[in-house]
């Protein structure tokens, strides 16, 4: 693994390695001295073109626990509003000898562009790009789910997959990078993924995804999921006619007190409720659900640091046990030889 750009191109083997290393990192977090010398002398730049205190702090804590030097570069707003292009920003960081660039960007594909452009040599970690992917969020969700799944099974987490687990993702899938990353990663790890949301907020083309789609949340809950992941809803979507009102949305697709009680009625004692945060209490999730013992919201935050430590460690420590499958670039621009024939995307 040279970069961590998406979960779609992450092999099961590399995903499990990341999660297993994250378990070791979590153990470090339990020690009195929570710091490892692994990345001493290495520089990690947090390049954030979008406000995100939570994700940035999580990456910062992860890098510092590995003894890396951390530079926070908050290019608030878009690169263009600053009058500086992504290319110039990237080359500035390259000139400062960054070893890894953690990038959050409002444009889908910006991290992939950075990694493939040749503008920099640093490892690129996608910390959320537009409505594309947020791979470390999916990894921390998978980590949280795996611990839960292993505990129910009475086995250690490390090495376990999510085989047999049923995960329901609810809400604005169309605009959610968290949903996309989770769909790919959770299915790669063996889980069955269900989606529920208003048809307007499910992308055209979702039929090709490896999951079942429900327009009715109660029908989806009747499938007895082991975890329900509520996505954050941006209320301004209402203005673009994605749904009539926040109240109607909340009634049909919100995880309210009634649906919380339904889990008890159905005897789903071990079903957990997840949310990537920040939550809109009373909109997509009720306070009772968010604060119930089923909620994994705080565990998710805690696990985020371990997963990000694992990602930075594996990218920067010259990982030799790579899955060779991941080294085959899907980007045709990297394979000039194949252009002469008929690569995908050029109709013969």
Partner 1 sequence: MTTDTTAGSTATPSATEYLILGASILGGDAADLLIRDGLIAVVGPEAADAASRGAVTIDAEGLVALPGMVDLHTHLREPGREDAETVETGSRAAALGGFTAIHAMANSSPVADTAGVVEQVYRLGLASGWVEVRPVGAVTVGLGGQRLAELGAMAESRASVRVFSDDGICVHDPVLMRRALEYVKAFDGVIAQHAQEPRLTEGAQMNEGEVSAVLGLTGWPAVAEESIIARDVLLAQHVGSRLHVCHVSTAGSVEIIRWAKARGIDVTAEVTPHHLLLTDELVRSYDPVYKVNPPLRTSDDVHALRAALADGTIDVVGTDHAPHPSEHKECEWAQAAMGMTGLETALSVVQHAMVETGLLDWEGFARVTSVAPARIGRLEHQGRPLAAGEPANLILVDPAARWTVDPSTMATKGRNSPFRGLELPGSVRATFYAGHPTVLEGRLATPRQAPAASMTGEAPAWNI
Which residues are annotated binding-site positions for carbamoyl phosphate? 54-55, 104, 134, 137, 277-278
Task: Give the separation between CA 149 and CA 17, rounded to whole angstroms.
Answer: 17
Backbone angles phi, psi at 64, to 5 degrees: -70, -35
> Does 259 sit near partner 1 (CB under 8 A)?
no
Backbone angles phi, psi at 129, to 5 degrees: -130, 110
Q: Which of 29, 190, 203, 277 binds partner 1 (CB under 8 A)?
A: 203
Nearest to 124 by CA among 142, 98, 143: 98
Report the nearest approach of partner 1 to the CB of residue 195 (Å). 12
Both tokens assigned to 162: 């999510």
Task: Give the separation between CA 248 and CA 250, rounded to whole angstroms.
Answer: 5
Bridge partners for 168 per DSSP: 194, 228
Q: 167: helix, coil or strand?
A: strand
Nearest to 198 by CA among 216, 186, 180: 216
> Does 50 sit near partner 1 (CB under 8 A)?
no
Both tokens assigned to 168: 């329901």
Q: Which of 83, 154, 267, 345 binds partner 1 (CB under 8 A)?
A: 345
> Does 325 sit near partner 1 (CB under 8 A)?
no
In whole angstroms, what separates CA 292 from the centre of its chain? Answer: 23
Q: Which CB sits closer to partner 1, 109 or 277?
A: 109
User: Which one of 27-35, 152-160, 202-210, 318-326 is the stretch in contact with partner 1 (CB under 8 A)?
Assistant: 202-210
Question: Which residue ranges are tagged as binding site for L-aspartate?
Answer: 82, 177, 232
Q: Which CB sits closer to partner 1, 9 or 141?
A: 9
> Does 27 sit near partner 1 (CB under 8 A)?
no
> Does 53 sit near partner 1 (CB under 8 A)?
no
Hey, which residues between 102 and 131 contact partner 1 (CB under 8 A)? Answer: 105-110, 112-113, 116-117, 129-131
State the Cα angle at 159 between 68 and 225, rounded to 5°: 105
Tell me which residues touch partner 1 (CB under 8 A).
Answer: 8, 78-80, 85-87, 105-110, 112-113, 116-117, 129-133, 177, 180, 203-206, 208-209, 330-333, 336, 339-340, 344-347
């Amino acid at each position: 693994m040279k970069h961590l750009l998406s979960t779609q191109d992450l092999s099961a083997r590399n995903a499990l390695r990341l999660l297993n290393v994250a378990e070791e990192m979590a153990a470090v977090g339990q020690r009195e001295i929570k710091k490892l010398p692994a990345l001493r002398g290495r520089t990690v730049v947090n390049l954030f073109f979008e406000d995100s205190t939570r994700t940035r702090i999580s990456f910062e804590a992860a890098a510092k626990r590995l003894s890396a030097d951390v530079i926070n570069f908050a290019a608030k707003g878009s690169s263009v509003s600053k009058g500086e292009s992504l290319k110039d920003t990237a080359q500035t960081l390259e000139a400062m000898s960054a070893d890894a660039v953690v990038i959050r960007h409002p444009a889908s594909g910006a991290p992939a562009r950075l990694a493939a452009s040749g503008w920099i040599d640093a490892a690129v970690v996608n910390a959320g790009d537009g409505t594309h992917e947020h791979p470390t969020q999916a990894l921390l969700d998978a980590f949280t789910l795996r611990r839960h799944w292993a505990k129910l099974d009475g086995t250690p987490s490390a090495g376990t997959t999510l085989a047999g687990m049923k995960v329901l993702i609810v809400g604005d899938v169309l605009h959610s990078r968290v949903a996309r990353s989770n769909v790919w990663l959770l299915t790669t790890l063996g889980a069955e993924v269900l989606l529920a949301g208003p048809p307007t907020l499910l992308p055209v083309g979702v039929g090709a995804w490896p999951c079942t789609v429900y327009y009715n949340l109660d029908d989806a809950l009747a499938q007895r999921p082991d975890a329900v992941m509520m996505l954050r809803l941006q209320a301004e979507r209402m203005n673009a006619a994605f749904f009539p009102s926040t109240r109607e949305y909340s009634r049909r697709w919100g995880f309210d007190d009634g649906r919380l009680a339904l889990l008890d009625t159905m005897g789903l004692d071990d079903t957990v409720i997840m949310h990537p945060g920040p939550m809109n209490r009373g909109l997509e999730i009720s306070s009772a659900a968010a604060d119930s013992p089923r909620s994994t919201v705080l565990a998710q935050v805690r696990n985020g640091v371990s997963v990000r430590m694992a990602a930075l460690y594996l990218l920067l420590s010259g990982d030799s046990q790579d899955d060779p499958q991941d080294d085959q670039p899907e980007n045709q621009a990297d394979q000039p030889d194949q252009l002469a024939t008929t690569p995908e995307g050029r109709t013969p």
